[in-house]
Chain A
Amino acid sequence: MSTAFSSAKFSTQPFLLNPTSAASHESPLLFAKPTSQFLGSTRKLRLSSSSKLNLSRRSGTVVAVSDVVKQKKSKSTPSLLITKEEGLELYEDMVLGRAFEDMCAQMYYRGKMFGFVHLYNGQEAVSTGFIKLLKQQDSVVSTYRDHVHALSKGVPARAVMSELFGKTTGCCRGQGGSMHMFSREHNLLGGFAFIGEGIPVATGAAFTSKYKREVLKEADCDHVTLAFFGDGTCNNGQFFECLNMAALWKLPIVFVVENNLWAIGMSHLRATSDPQIYKKGPAFGMPGIHVDGMDVLKVRQVAKEAIGRARRGEGPTLVECETYRFRGHSLADPDELRDPAEKAHYAARDPITALKKYLIENNLAGEAELKAIDKKIDEVVEDAVEFADDSPVPPRSQLLENVFADPKGFGIGPDGRYRCEDPKFTEGTAHV
């Protein structure tokens, strides 16, 4: 439940962080009406104060995350939310995400990559805010909008760009493409084309973490899994089924909803009976938090708490990040349905600009430093393109590799030998 619990009463009104300022020192208002309106909506959001949630069953188990954040803020008054190092790391990661995606668009229109490419411009705060808090052994599961999740998790830009170009040096040997980014080394478990498909996989990764600790007795295994998905997915059965299972078994997972208000051309409000997704967490017995997804520092605060909860074995959290994609759903989407006023509203809240302002205003970094980072990232992205361009395309012989982990699965041929022993297999010219 996202409300801050008062001593006597349970409030049904959600606690929304003020979206307009990056580092707000205002004390949060308990019963305030939400200050962010979803612009471009066909109807105004109204909170129903009439519905009272029966929280008596869950009163012990639900933690009001925002309550903890509030306490932290009130104790240390003019303390900053990040150090200089952290700030530069966050800045660099977001700029990498933005520059990479912009380059993807360029490359797509130049005919270097094909198919469905979904860009992440505008949502960088969510990826950076969450993933930069993870360890290497923690897992991330994403959707088709996965380039920036891959970059934040540590997959080299070269590997991602090569994969997009369909070259054999790509992170998935060119076999996955834009929507299927995987990395065993960095524990990026995909990249899924169908929405909702990755959430059970993430639940499984979290299950393994719990299994390792409790059955295999690896006592220090505290790996956390993050599942990223969008607003459209929150109407899908797999979402609800996994919220149930994760809460039931207290799995170390955080469900991160990147609510950018639009599926392809379907507005979230036209598709959802109750558009406040964070409210669906408490229905399954986990906290539901709403956070301003255009503000990387706020996202990071919430993420810290949610990931901490999971690591300590206290169970899952549902975090709804209100964010926005500056481009269309994919590069094939003309993006004609969205109201220009809505786009302008969110463009004014560009997360990179906001962080830059925060860093400069709080004397954590100077213009020159930030410009140097911009330049460095430009070089990284250029290098990635060059590398991808120069990489070879997959040879024919790669066709039949990786279909089966154990290639005996192709069966026994008429001559009595396993078909994978046939030299045509290694050449890729055999027909399966």
Chain B
Amino acid sequence: MAAIFQGVGAAAPLSSSPSNSFDSNKSVFSPRRSFSVSKRVSFAVVRSDGKVNLNPKGRRDQRLIPNAVATNAGSAAASKQGHELLLFEALQEGLEEEMERDPRVCVMGEDVGHYGGSYKVTKGLAKRFGDLRVLDTPIAENSFTGMGIGAAMTGLRPVIEGMNMGFLLLAFNQISNNCGMLHYTSGGQFTIPVVVRGPGGVGRQLGAEHSQRLESYFQSIPGIQMVACSTPYNAKGLMKAAIRSENPVILFEHVLLYNLKERIPDEDYICNLEEAEMVRPGEHVTILTYSRMRYHVMQAAKTLVNKGYDPEVIDIRSLKPFDLYTIGNSVKKTHRVLIVEECMRTGGIGASLTAAITENFNDYLDAPIMCLSSQDVPTPYAGTLEEVTVVQPAQIVTAVEQLCQ
């Protein structure tokens, strides 16, 4: 469980309800559950699977809250021991557990085998499972993605790695035409249970082509799901859920988040692919974000809290489809929305989200939705310029102040 909590005098954690690992295999269409908050404290302990039903009357408490930010080091709730690891290790653990559990799960990609993966996500797997199950492919993205799809149609469950997400542009043909559409055009005869994953996002001066965010390009493809991980907990959970899912899933990782450390549970758990994660409940404004921008937002939240604001931060996690329930509940409560993303402004996830919120929750909005995205600029190499293309915490603070006037 993520160690995200706030509240003066640490509250007892929410009771270890059986649904903290939302096992999508068991309950297919189970309705969302809600927990009641312990009355002793003003804020609840939030697990990163994010099911919290806050006091509906709302509290406009202006106290300074010292621990407003997600604390990543291992301050886990007392009930579970867990083990500490880095995000790339969490991904590896998830992948390894699924490969143990189901012999049809295999990995294909460049340098995933002997090299262990360019970000070490598949380290050690080839030694353990063999060269065929962890397949080092030649540099032919379109073809090995198609090969993964053909393998999925005939019974395997491949995890296809793009060494950098940007390389998957070369596989767009296969991802769009076959991954997304084949289940439909075959009249439901063939399923494509692939996971397409890889690191994307703006790194440290990697240059324009290695700093791409493909979520905006893939989001229109019908028939696929997209998720973005941001913490070791949800990285492992999403990896496992994606592998178990019968749908093709694109899992977006971020180059700069691989070394995040967190304590995660020892037992088996997955994170629901379609749900968003409540990072920090609040009252004044809803901030929707995903992937790396979550950390910029939480940094800005520290400043905001000191200035007296109470932002609600939601990591949307599911980029396609959007979790309109969590998002909607938040909008209904705060009436103000700020979207912070790393995607480009034009046609990005933020743009779609703005449209979805306007369509569904327009009546609840007190102000127009603000969307902070990266500039529509190829990411420059120079550090100073690169910094400016991406949203920084200071901008987030200014935006919230503007929104809450």
Contacts and interface: CB of A to CB of B under 8 A. Distances in A.
Contacts of A156: none
Contacts of B186: 172, 175-176, 180, 182, 184, 190-191
Contact of B274 (A139, A244, A403, A412): A412
Given A245-B140, A416-B325, A184 B190 contact: yes
B214 interface: no
A170 interface: yes
A97 B223 CA distance: 33
Interface string A172-216: 111111001011100001111110010111111111111110111
A183 B190 CA distance: 9
Interface stretch (B69-77, B90-98, B173-181, B382-390): B173-181
Interface in B299-346: 318, 320-326, 328
A166 B153 CA distance: 24
Contact of A408 (B28, B153, B177, B189): B28
Nearest to B34: A416
B230 interface: no
A402 B103 CA distance: 26
Nearest to A217: B103
A176 B147 contact: no
Interface string B189-226: 11111000000000000000000000000000011010
Given A204-B151, A402-B187, A215 B132 contact: yes
Contact of B149 (A171, A200, A216, A414): A200
Interface in A117-150: 139, 141
A405 interface: yes
A204 B154 contact: yes
Interface in A290-308: none
B328 A403 contact: no
Contacts of A421: 29
A415 B325 contact: yes
B323 A411 contact: yes
A420 B274 CA distance: 12
Interface string A403-432: 111101111111111111100000000000
Contacts of A404: 183, 223, 225, 246-247
B187 A197 contact: no
Contact of B150 (A177, A205, A410, A416): A205
Contacts of B154: 139, 189, 204-205, 208-209
A241 B173 CA distance: 14
Given A200-B174, A204-B149, A204-B151, A182 B187 contact: yes
Nearest to B103: A216
Q: Which of A194, A214, A241, A248 has the most chain B CB atoms inside 10 A of its CB?
A: A241
Contacts of B325: 412-416
A201 to B, nearest CB: 4
Interface string B131-154: 011000110101111111111111
A113 B257 CA distance: 53
B32 A412 contact: yes
Contacts of A241: 138, 140, 142-144
B150 to A, nearest CB: 2
Interface in A80-134: none
B187 A175 contact: yes
Q: Which of B133, B190, B245 has the most chain A CB atoms inside 10 A of its CB?
A: B190
A172 B184 CA distance: 8
Nearest to A417: B31
B321 A189 contact: no
A404 B322 CA distance: 16
B142 A238 contact: yes
B148 A204 contact: yes
Given A210-B132, A215-B132, A421-B29, A203 B185 contact: no
Nearest to A237: B142
Interface in A225-264: 237-238, 241-242, 244-245, 248
Contacts of A402: 183-184, 187-188
Contact of B184 (A216, A403, A412): A403
B79 interface: no
Contacts of A190: 182, 185-186
B31 to A, nearest CB: 6
Contacts of B133: 211, 215
B360 interface: yes
A173 B273 CA distance: 29
Given A410-B321, A412-B325, A173 B150 contact: no
Interface string A267-295: 00000000000000000000000000000
Interface residues of B, number: 65
A26 interface: no
B119 interface: no
Contacts of B246: 404-406
Contacts of A170: 187
Nearest to B140: A241
A176 B274 contact: no
A430 B210 CA distance: 39
A242 B188 contact: no
Contacts of B222: 403
A244 B140 contact: yes
B130 A200 contact: no
Interface string B282-302: 000000000000000000000
Contacts of A401: 188
B321 A403 contact: no
A404 to B, nearest CB: 5
Given A175-B184, A404-B223, A416-B31, A207 B275 contact: no
Contacts of A205: 150-151, 153-154
B170 to A, nearest CB: 9
A207 B103 contact: no
Nearest to A400: B184
B228 to A, nearest CB: 15
A22 to B, nearest CB: 36
Contacts of B32: 412, 416-417
Contacts of A406: 245-247
Nearest to A208: B154
A411 B274 contact: yes
Contacts of B148: 204
Nearest to B327: A414
A33 to B, nearest CB: 36
Contacts of A202: 150
A197 B183 contact: no
A204 B138 contact: no
Contacts of A173: 187-188
A238 B146 contact: yes
Nearest to A238: B143
B185 A214 contact: no
Contacts of B28: 408
23 contacts: A172-B189, A175-B186, A180-B186, A182-B190, A189-B190, A191-B186, A200-B144, A204-B152, A209-B154, A237-B142, A238-B142, A244-B140, A245-B140, A245-B147, A404-B223, A405-B188, A405-B191, A408-B24, A409-B273, A409-B321, A413-B324, A414-B325, A414-B361
9 A-B pairs with least C-beta separation: A204-B150, A200-B146, A411-B321, A173-B187, A172-B187, A182-B186, A201-B150, A241-B143, A241-B140
Given A238-B143, A404-B223, A409-B273, 6 more contacts: A141-B150, A170-B187, A176-B186, A214-B132, A238-B142, A417-B32
